[in-house]
Structures are given as C-alpha cells and as structure tokens.
Structure 1
Amino acid sequence: MGVRVGIVGLPNVGKSTLFNALVEGSRAEVANYPFCTIDPNIGVVEVPDERVKILAEREGAAQAVPATVEFVDIAGLVRHASRGEGLGNQFLAHIREVEALAVVLRCFEDPEVVHVEGAVDPVRDLEILEVELIAKDLETVERRLSKVEKAARSGDRAAGEEYRHLEILRRILSEVEPLRKHREKIPPETLEYAFRTLFLLTLKPVLWVANLGEGDLPEGRENPHLVRLAERARNEGVPLIPLCAELEAQLAELSPEERREMLAAYGLAEPGLWRVIREAYGLLNLITFYTVNEKEARARTLRRGATALEAAAEIHTDMARGFIAAEVINFEDYRALSGLSEARKKGLVRLEGRDYPVKDGDILYIRFKV
C-alpha cells in the first residue's frame, strides 16, 4: 500500500536538505532563497528494518525487500499562503495529496542563511504554518456550507445532516484550532464525513522535525529554540525529532563504516532520519508483515487491525479471492529459531482464518485456491 508523507515548513528551514538526505542523493534543489522548490520533489525511502534482512538470510531468499514510505518535498509556505501569497494555493494543494506531514522547524542560527520572517523562532514558524492550514480548511468548510445551507433549511434530510457536520468543523476552525487536536471531541460520523468528503489539511497527523546546528548535537538540550519547541510538543502530544539536516545529508553519502564512525564522533546512536522514517510510518497507524520465498523476503505494509484476508489482498488479489487460511508465526517467536523449517517441526506455525487481525511482525504464508 502507498504511504505518502509531505515535508513542509517555511522557506529556508532545511526541508530540501532533509529530503535529499532521506532519499540519499536525490536531485531536489537546495538554495538560499525562498521558493527554490516550486513543484514537489518525490522520493521513495526504505523503512529501516533488520527483520526482513534476517528473514532473507535464514530462508535463503535471493533478496530482502523492505517496506517503503514516499516523501514529498513541498515548497515553503509563507504567511498568508491561504490567500495565495508566495504561490500558496498551489503549495496547499500539494499538502492535500499526502497522508501525513513532517513539519521542519529551523532551530539553528546562521547569518548566511536568510529567514523569511527575519529571525529564528520555530514556535512562531509553527504557528504561521498552522494558521495557514486552518484558514484553508475554514475556507473549504464555509464554501461547502454555503452550498448546502439552503437545502438544509428547506428540510432536506441529507443536506441537514451534512450541515450539522460542517457546523461542528467550522466552530473548531473558527477558534483557530487544528482539527487533529480535537479529534476526541468530534463525533465519529463527523470525522468519517470529513475524511470521505473534504480532505481537510488539519486532520492529517503530524510530526515535528527540529533542524539543529552541528554544534547542538547530540541532543540539543542547551538550544533555547528546541527547549521551547519540546515543551509545545509535549503539551500537544506530537512526536518531535531533533536532528541536523546538514549532517544527515553528509551521512547519507558515506559508506556504512564511515557513517558509523561519524555518528560515534557526534555521540549519535543512529541517523536521525531513521527515526523520521519510523515515526512517519507509525504516525499512520501502520504495521509491517512479512512474506518469504526463494526469490525474496518482503516487508509489506498494512493498517493496524487489518485482517489476514486484507493482508492476502495486499500480496495479490487472487490470494484474497481464493483464501483458505494463513500460516502465521510472529517474528519474535521466529527470531530464536534457525528458520521456518524448525518452526513447523516444533508446531509453532499456526493456522488462522480470514478474520485474524494481523500483528506487527507476523510472517504469513497464504493458502489459497482459485
């Protein structure tokens, strides 16, 4: 299944540098002026996962194929983008096409890199971005309200129900609040309507990436911008990932051994980008399951709570159509064994039906007949 995450932020905060590091040498342009990215750059990134490599080695598969996330480098938003400033309408349309947002926030000082707002302040930048997304959502809701209001007042039942959903959404947005912060208070049927019909920007899950200077590594605890941002993230329950995009871009060009040495020099256990990828993957409530044969061990993506039948459809529609049963062992049980042959001998591979909820790490073999 396709997973698309948009990288957003104000101009010159490090979005394209981060994108380049993510896709290891893509051709996203990086320059020191606003709007150097106009059309979105797109890169497919592997999800770091040792399990699929172990599975391939033990089962003698020719290759290991990890799950992937598609990142979209969206041009910088500016104040009043919702009114069309700085090509704002075009950029907001690109945001509408992704499933989640990675918001890059500049936390480094550098007089050589201009800031569109004049001074570095990631909390202010975050608020500018959120206000523009809220304004666009409010415009969407109010435009739809104007279309259904007359029919709703005349007694049309469907229009009346839609009007009630829109009013709930409008009230929240009118308070300059993103809808995702109020999901618990929004009736499930209203949420379903919003997702199905309106594709609102502030309902998308988000993570924040604090772009630090190299001198702030490894954790940036002394960086006052990061301290304020971390407090905001805790209060809102948003994942916050501190990293240095410039360093990540350098790491992406190194060999594995050189990368380990540089990480150790900065006191880092792993590239910050690995956490960005994992958090983006988890942000969408996704899990990974595995299939293996002599050609490949493959990590596959599934929504949490999906069934064995849905997993079969993710592999091939014929498997779902002729589904009989799924042979299942979780990777945590598999890890202690020499391979699937030993697992079967010990009776650790079980049969599950079509309604079995697939767990993260499950290794599946689908029995089917068409």
Structure 2
Amino acid sequence: MERFGFVGLPNAGKSSLYNALAGGGALAAPYAFATVDPNVGVAKVLDSRLDALAEMSQSKNVVPTAVQFVDIAGLVKGASQGEGLGNRFLAHIREVDAVVFVLRAFEDTDVPGSSDPAEQLEILELELITADLEALEKHIDKRRKAARSNPAQAPEVAAMEAAIDVLGGGTPVWRAGLDEDTMALLKAEQLLTSKPVIALVNLGEDQLDEPDTYLAGVRALLGDTAPVIGLSIQLEAEAAMLDPEDRTEMLEALGLGEGALPTFLHTAYQLLGLRTFFTTGEKESRAWTFREGFTAPQTAGVIHTDFERGFIRAETIGWDVLLEAGSWSKARDEGTLRIEGKDYKVVDGDVMEFRFNV
C-alpha cells in the first residue's frame, strides 16, 4: 500500500486532515509539536464505479481500494539543522512514497507565523532542499573515488552531481526537470525532494467562496509540476465524524457537494501512477490497485501470485459497457466481453475475470 506523508509547519492542519481521513484519533492542538510520533492511518478511496457495479451484481460485500497516510509532526525553520526535533521528523519523510504539503491560508491569532501558503511552501521546500544538499555533499567525494576504480559507478556520480546543481540553485529535485534515467539513479539516495508532491491549501470557512485567491501564489510557484487543492480541513474533519446521511446534509448545506476529500484522495492515488480495475459478482465487488502499464498477467498477480504464474487469459470489459449490458452473462451474449492475452495492457476501469492453471 502506498504511503503519503503530511508535511507542514506547526498547526497547519495536518492532524485535522488525518482525523478527516481516519475518522479521528490524532491530537489536533493549537501549539507546536502536539504530534511527535507520526500517526499512521488508512483511507478508503471511494469510487462511484465500484458502487454501481456492486448494485448491478447485488454484491453482499463491497471492497474499495485504500491508501496509507502519515501525520508527520510540524517542521519549523531550521529543521534541517535539527531545530524543533527537525532531523527526527525529516527521517519520517524519507519513509513515505509521496509528500502532501499542508499549507495554512486561514487566519488564527492563536497560531504563530504567516498565513500565506506560498510563503510556507517556500520555507518547507528550503528545509528539505538543505537536508538533501547536505546529504549528497557528504557522500559525493566517496562516490567519485569509487567511480575512479569502478567506471560502472560513474552514472550514479553524474546523477548526484546533477541533483547537487539543482538543489544548490534552490530547486527541489522533483520539479527540476531531470530526465527519467537520472531520477532512477537517484532513487537509492532517498532524497526528500525527489518524491511526488501534492499541495493542499487549508482554507477557513469564510475563504471557501473564492478559493482561487488563496491558491494563486502556490500555483505560481509550482506551475504544472504538482496538483494544488483547496479545502477546509476543519469542516471536512467535522463532517467525517458524522454518519453518512448527516455528513451529506452538512456538506450540501455548506455548498460543498460530496466534500473535497474524495478529490484529494483520487488525486493522491493517481499521482503515483496507480490505477483501478474491478472484479464483481454476487459474493463481492472489489476495486484493485495496479500500476499504469501493467499487463494482464501482472494485474492478475495483484489478486494472487498463482494467477500471474498460471495466467491463461483474461475476460475483460469496461465498467461502463458492463453496466450498459446489465450483467456479465448478457455482455458475453452481446459480444462486448473481450478475451485478452498476456500482452494486453490493462486500462483504468476494466472489469476482469482471470483464467489460470497452476
């Protein structure tokens, strides 16, 4: 399961975001370092396609996909030099697959520091850049020496040098435009700034009418390198504590529709190249996670390794085509059910049944 880390200055709303996704459990307090050890939770990625398939099949059980998320304690200026237990918290960031920058736009006299989300983003990126730069500069001479006796290591040194150049210029690796081969070589370095990023701007209730006003500065900094989402974490956390009917009523009364959390979760899910295929039947309808580009056997292996090892073929149909047919058997009779082999690249939204023999 992929893991997303919430990173922000103290009291930006990270713990409240955790509570909104997990339904409570994290201490959200108006003082720095209310969180010391990271809270780890799991959020279901709700999908209307799965619900529709389950209704069609009259499934007894419905299982959505999920992502894991980590509420990491607030960073402060100087964290890369150990300020505010910074080194400890930076280590937690190294363990996640992607970073969610939680940036405060709401005004609160009890919370110190700027409420400008773009300024907060610059502080956070600078701390991560400084930590990565120090780590690379510490090891680069040793790697250069090793490459002189073993030329096969020269590409790794070149990748490190490229990263040092961009970091030294104040740009994080993830938005420096380095090529895929360089990024692949840097993976072993576990750089904080090489991870995919989402920027989440935490709005006050009075800012929801004109969210773009508060997101503009962050979007200007990031360009098209990362998605930027605005939501009121406090309202979403309060809604998450209600039963589904009351939650819907509250969100609709505030003009928020289904809320921003589903959008955030789907964005996070897509960010890492994760896609969804489905299985459906009377017993269970289930969403499964696969990586974009997976072949049919690789996707079968998501369910069980035996499915991949003994793969014969996959019966496949788009979720919307299946719903239009009304059932698996009707789709087969109509000829809309396809037989796909080992070279088939699975598409997001495919509904599949696998044939295998081991």
Normalised-by-shorter TM-score class = over 0.9
Aligned-pair distance for 1:362?
0.3
**SS of equivalent to 2:336:** coil
User: 1:194 is matched by which residue type in structure 2?
Assistant: L
- Aligned partner (choices 333, 336, 339) of residue 345 of structure 1: 333
Measure, in 2, the Cα distance between the counterparts of 1:104 and 1:74: 11
Measure, in 2, the Cα distance between the counterparts of 1:290 and 1:190: 35
- Aligned partner (choices 77, 84, 87) of residue 85 of structure 2: 87
Whether 2:237 is the aligned partner of 1:238: answer no
8 Å CA contact 1:214–1:247 kept in 2: the answer is: yes
Whether 2:178 is the aligned partner of 1:191: answer no
Match of residue 2 from structure 2: 3
Moved more, 141-150 or 299-308: 141-150
- After TM superposition, the structure 1 = structure 2 runs for residues 118-267 of structure 1, keeping only pairs within 5 Å, are 118-152=113-147, 154-183=148-177, 186-195=178-187, 197-221=188-212, 223=213, 225-233=214-222, 235-267=223-255
Measure, in 1, the Cα distance between the counterparts of 2:215 and 2:345: 40
Match of residue 45 from structure 1: 43
8 Å CA contact 2:56–2:323 kept in 1: the answer is: no
8 Å CA contact 2:313–2:354 kept in 1: the answer is: yes
**SS of equivalent to 2:133:** helix
Identity fraction in percent: 47
Measure, in 2, the Cα distance between the counterparts of 1:165 and 1:237: 20
**SS of equivalent to 1:348:** coil
Summarize deviations over 1:327-351 as a string: whole Å, max 9, x none: 1001121121211111111111111
Summarize deviations over 1:112-166 as a string: whole Å, max 9, x none: x222xx33221111011001111121122222312212233x4421233322221
Measure, in 1, the Cα distance between the counterparts of 2:230 and 2:151: 50
Measure, in 2, the Cα distance between the counterparts of 1:226 and 1:325: 47
Aligned-pair distance for 1:293?
3.8
Measure, in 2, the Cα distance between the counterparts of 1:163 and 1:208: 31
8 Å CA contact 2:121–2:218 kept in 1: the answer is: no
8 Å CA contact 1:219–1:242 kept in 2: the answer is: no
8 Å CA contact 1:218–1:266 kept in 2: the answer is: no
Gaps of 5+ in 2: none
Measure, in 1, the Cα distance between the counterparts of 2:162 and 2:124: 23
**SS of equivalent to 2:108:** coil
Aligned-pair distance for 1:255?
2.5
- Aligned partner (choices 28, 31, 35) of residue 29 of structure 2: 31
**SS of equivalent to 1:120:** coil
Measure, in 2, the Cα distance between the counterparts of 1:330 and 1:236: 30
User: 2:127 is matched by which residue type in structure 1?
Assistant: E
User: 1:96 is matched by which residue type in structure 2?
Assistant: R
Q: What is the TM-score of this pair, normalised by structure 2?
A: 0.95
Residue 193 to residue 237, structure 1, CA distance change in 2 (3 Å): closer
Moved more, 300-309 or 156-165: 156-165
Match of residue 104 from structure 2: 106
8 Å CA contact 2:43–2:69 kept in 1: the answer is: yes
8 Å CA contact 2:129–2:170 kept in 1: the answer is: yes
Match of residue 311 from structure 2: 323
User: 2:31 is matched by which residue type in structure 1?
Assistant: Y
Aligned-pair distance for 1:217?
1.9
Q: What is the TM-score of this pair, normalised by structure 1?
A: 0.92
Measure, in 2, the Cα distance between the counterparts of 1:46 and 1:264: 21
Q: How many residues align?
A: 358
- After TM superposition, the structure 1 = structure 2 runs for residues 273-292 of structure 1, keeping only pairs within 5 Å, are 273-292=261-280
Measure, in 2, the Cα distance between the counterparts of 1:28 and 1:242: 22
Measure, in 2, the Cα distance between the counterparts of 1:135 and 1:245: 29
Aligned-pair distance for 1:61?
2.3
Gaps of 5+ in 1: none
